[in-house]
Amino acid sequence: VCLEYSRNIQLGGSGEVPIGHTAAALLLKKVKARLGLEQCKFGLTGAAPIRVDTLSYFGSLNLHINEGYGMSESGGAITLSTDKCHEWGSCGFEVPGVEVKAFVVDPSDINKKTECPRSPTLDDVGERYQGELCFRGRSIMMGYMACPDMGNSHLKDVEKKNSETIDKDGWLHSGDMGMITVAGMVKITGRYKELIIGEGGENIAPVPIEDAVKGHCDGLAEVMMLGDKRKYNVALVTLKAVGANGEVPGTDQLDAAAARLNPAVQTISAAMSDKIWIDAITAAITKANGNGKVCINNAFKIQKFTILPTNFSEESGELTPTKKLKRKLVETKYSSLIDKMYAAD
**Whether residue 49 has pLDDT greater than 80:** no
Clarify whether residues 11 and 113 are in a common domain.
yes
Clarify whether residues 6 and 21 are in a common domain.
yes
State the pLDDT at residue 46: 84
- Mark which of 193, 209, 226 sits at the end of a domain: 193
Exposure string (b/e) for 247-278, b if CB count within 10 Å is 16 or more?
Answer: eebbebebbeebbebbeebebbeebbebeebe
Clarify whether residues 89 and 205 are in a common domain.
no
Which residue stretches of the chain are H helix? 2-8, 21-34, 52-60, 152-165, 206-215, 256-259, 268-271, 275-289, 327-333, 335-343
Taking the C-alpha atoms of residue 21 and residue 27, their distance in angstroms, rounded to an integer, is: 10
Clarify whether residues 124 and 225 are in a common domain.
no
Q: What is the pLDDT of residues 307-337, one digit of tens each?
A: 999 999 999 999 988 788 899 899 999 999 9
* pLDDT-derived band at 107, boundaries 50, 70, 90: confident
Q: What is the pLDDT of residues 186-236, one digit of tens each?
A: 999 888 888 888 878 888 889 889 999 999 999 999 999 999 888 899 999
Instruction: Give bridge partners of residue 2 from the DSSP assignment.
Output: none
Taking the C-alpha atoms of residue 230 and residue 276, their distance in angstroms, rounded to an integer, is: 29
Residue 204: phi and psi, rounded to 5, are -110, 115
Clarify whether residues 13 and 110 are in a common domain.
yes
Clarify whether residues 186 and 208 are in a common domain.
no
pTM: 0.72
Query: Whole domain around residue 55: which residue ranges?
Result: 2-193
**Whether residue 12 has pLDDT greater than 90:** no
- Mark which of 144, 173, 193 sits at the end of a domain: 193
Clarify whether residues 155 and 264 are in a common domain.
no
State the pLDDT at residue 63: 85
How many structural domains comprise the chain?
2
DSSP classification of residue 150:
G
Nearest partner of 187 among 301, 91, 314, 75, judged by Cα: 91
Residue 303: phi and psi, rounded to 5, are -100, -30
SS3 content of the chain, % helix, strand, coil (to 5): 30, 25, 40
State the pLDDT at residue 345: 72
Q: Which strands, in side-by-side order, build the sheet including 302-307?
A: 220-226, 233-239, 302-307
Clarify whether residues 147 and 228 are in a common domain.
no
Q: Please give the C-alpha separations between residue 291 and each of 76, 186, 278, in angstroms, as whole numbers.
A: 35, 21, 20
Torsion 17-18-22-27 (CA) sign: negative
DSSP classification of residue 291:
-
Q: Cα angle at 23 between 21 and 26, to 5 degrees? A: 105
Clarify whether residues 133 and 160 are in a common domain.
yes
Q: For position 6, which CATH number holds? A: 3.40.50.12780
**Whether residue 5 has pLDDT greater than 90:** no
* pLDDT-derived band at 131, boundaries 50, 70, 90: very high
- Mean pLDDT over residues 137-147, rounded? 90
- Mean pLDDT over residues 256-283, rounded? 96
Instruction: Specify the 3-state DSSP secondary structure of 194.
Output: helix
DSSP classification of residue 303:
E
Q: For position 213, which CATH number holds? A: 3.30.300.30
- Mean pLDDT over residues 38-44, rounded? 84
* pLDDT-derived band at 278, boundaries 50, 70, 90: very high
Side-chain-facing half-sphere of 278: CA atoms under 13 Å: 9
Q: DSSP characters for 249-279? A: ---SBB-HHHHTT-TT--BHHHHTT-HHHHH
Residue 69: phi and psi, rounded to 5, are -145, 140
- Mark which of 169, 193, 217 sits at the end of a domain: 193
Side-chain-facing half-sphere of 321: CA atoms under 13 Å: 0
Clarify whether residues 133 and 241 are in a common domain.
no
Clarify whether residues 134 and 14 are in a common domain.
yes
- Termini Cα distance of the chain: 49
Torsion 315-321-327-329 (CA) sign: negative
Taking the C-alpha atoms of residue 188 and residue 67, their distance in angstroms, rounded to an integer, is: 11
Clarify whether residues 174 and 33 are in a common domain.
yes
